[in-house]
Every structure is written in structure tokens, then in C-alpha cells.
């Protein structure tokens, strides 16, 4: 039975540019490229100002159990939310009991400040994209999107658009970040065919495996050589 034990009327964040947080006992049904269900449990539902909807559990680190990036539409019915996107995918969230419904305007965010090595690595690669792949040319560094800037947006020798994520150490979270950017960029038809490259000084085996299964190219870069520092001729082992 649907119960609303702590409800505060909340306008749609799509119009107010506010983030909305809902803590509720809910069940979730996704229909799209596959079909999946989440049985009834207490979860956090986040609706970001850009329209992204994410469903989180108390565990699993940062990654949501299910989510849908913008653009999408959110239809709110009594005890049920239906989120749909232009691809025909839908997430139906059945709300059995609501404990908290709140919203807040977060304001402008200055973005992520990268450490010196990572920021310099990105700067060097922007100046020499052919270091990553032969024939690669830069379209823009820090290409802006509603979910954050893509480190490097390039074009390959075949004219395809290439989104590049640059990390000092390549771990799984960087692969997931690149996947989110690509999913978002695929909505922009002006970019044409698009693929991803994951670049780091060292890429961990688990991250490399995940990137490969996602169809991404992995490239490890020698930062010192890129800076023009040659290794010592004599090396002690």
C-alpha cells in the first residue's frame, strides 16, 4: 500500500534547476536494451537539475543501481514515477512509502580541480594528440557537457569523433566516467559516429578489461617522455 509519511510538495527540477532527493521504499522496473527489476527496498532517488535520474542503495559506492541520463521526461503519478527517454527506454519507479522528499538549488559548480601531473598530462596530450593515436586531431579540450567536461574531444583519421578520458592512474571509475560521457554525447547527432579512448600513465588490469568490454581503446602514456625527459642511460637494477 502506498504511504507518504514525510512528503514535502516539490516542483519539477527540470523547471527550477534544482536537485531533488527522495528517500522511499520503492520497486523499479527498467525496459530498454534489456529488462531488469529491483524488488521493494528503501532507496535514495536523485533527480539532478540537468534531468538525470539515479536510484541508489546504501552500498555499492558511487554507482547507482539504475539511472537514466537526460534528455528524458519524468511523469509523476500517485505512487509511481515513469522516466522515459527518446530511445524508448523507460524506468518505472513504484513508490510504496516516502520518507523524505526535498529539493535544493546547488548553484554553479567550479568543476573538478585536477592534480598537477594529471592536468599537465591533459595539456600535453591536447597539444600532441597524435601521441595517443596516429592521425588524431584536437577539436576541443575540456569539451563542455551537462554532466561535466570531456577531457579531450578529438577527430580521428577516418573523421569519427573521439572522446578521451585522461587519468594519472587508470581505474574502473575512469572507465565508468567515460561511458557516461559517451552515452550523453550519442544524443548529439551533429557529432556523428563517436568512440572512446581511455588514457593514463598506468591502467589497472580490471579497468582495462572493463574498458575493452565497453568497446574503448586503452592507451598508456609515458609522462616523462611526453615532457621531453629522456630516461638515464645507466639504470641500476
* CATH number of the domain within which 25 lies: 2.70.180.20
Domain count, the chain: 2
Are 63 and 39 in a shared domain?
yes
Are 126 and 220 in a shared domain?
yes
Cβ contacts of 165 within 8 Å, gap of 6 or more: 150, 151, 174, 175, 177, 178, 181, 196, 197, 198, 199
CATH number for the domain spanning 172: value is: 3.40.1350.10
Are 221 and 136 in a shared domain?
yes
Q: Residue 227: what pLDDT?
A: 80
Residue 234 forms part of a structural domain: no
Residue 111 forms part of a structural domain: no
Query: pLDDT tens, 20-37?
Result: 999 999 999 999 988 999
Are 11 and 82 in a shared domain?
yes
Query: pLDDT tens, 28-61?
Result: 999 998 899 999 999 999 999 888 999 999 876 6
d(CA 24, CA 145): 30
**Which phi and psi angles does 41 have, rounded to 5°?**
-165, 165
Residue 110 forms part of a structural domain: no
Q: What is the pTM of this model?
A: 0.56
Closest CA to 74 of 1, 34, 23, 16: 16
Instruction: Label each residue of 151-195 as H, E or C.
Output: EEEEECCCCCEEEEEEEEEECHHHHHHHHHHHHHHCCCHHHCCEE
d(CA 67, CA 147): 13
Cβ contacts of 3 within 8 Å, gap of 6 or more: 96, 97, 98
Are 69 and 49 in a shared domain?
yes
Are 158 and 94 in a shared domain?
no
Amino acid at each position: 500500500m502506498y504511504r507518504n509519511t514525510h512528503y514535502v510538495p516539490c516542483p519539477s527540477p527540470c523547471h527550477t534547476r534544482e536537485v531533488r532527493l527522495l528517500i522511499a521504499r520503492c520497486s523499479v522496473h527498467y525496459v530498454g536494451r534489456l529488462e531488469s527489476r529491483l524488488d521493494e527496498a528503501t532507496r535514495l532517488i536523485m533527480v539532478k537539475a540537468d534531468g538525470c535520474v539515479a536510484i541508489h542503495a546504501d552500498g555499492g559506492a558511487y554507482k547507482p543501481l539504475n539511472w537514466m541520463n537526460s534528455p528524458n521526461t519524468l511523469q509523476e503519478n500517485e505512487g509511481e514515477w515513469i522516466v522515459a527517454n527518446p530511445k524508448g527506454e523507460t524506468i518505472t519507479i513504484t513508490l510504496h512509502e516516502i520518507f523524505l522528499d526535498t529539493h535544493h538549488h546547488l548553484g554553479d559548480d567550479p568543476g573538478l580541480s585536477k592534480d598537477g601531473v594529471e592536468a599537465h598530462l591533459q595539456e600535453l596530450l591536447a597539444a600532441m594528440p597524435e601521441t595517443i593515436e596516429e592521425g588524431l586531431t584536437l577539436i576541443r579540450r575540456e569539451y563542455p557537457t551537462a554532466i561535466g567536461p570531456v577531457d579531450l574531444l578529438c577527430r580521428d583519421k577516418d573523421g569519427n569523433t573521439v572522446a578521451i578520458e585522461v587519468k594519472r592512474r587508470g581505474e574502473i571509475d575512469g572507465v565508468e566516467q567515460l561511458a557516461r560521457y559517451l552515452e550523453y554525447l550519442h544524443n548529439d547527432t551533429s557529432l556523428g559516429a563517436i568512440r572512446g579512448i581511455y588514457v593514463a600513465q598506468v591502467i589497472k588490469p580490471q579497468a582495462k578489461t572493463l574498458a575493452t568490454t565497453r568497446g574503448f581503446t586503452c592507451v598508456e602514456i609515458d609522462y616523462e617522455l611526453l615532457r621531453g625527459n629522456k630516461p638515464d642511460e645507466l639504470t641500476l637494477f
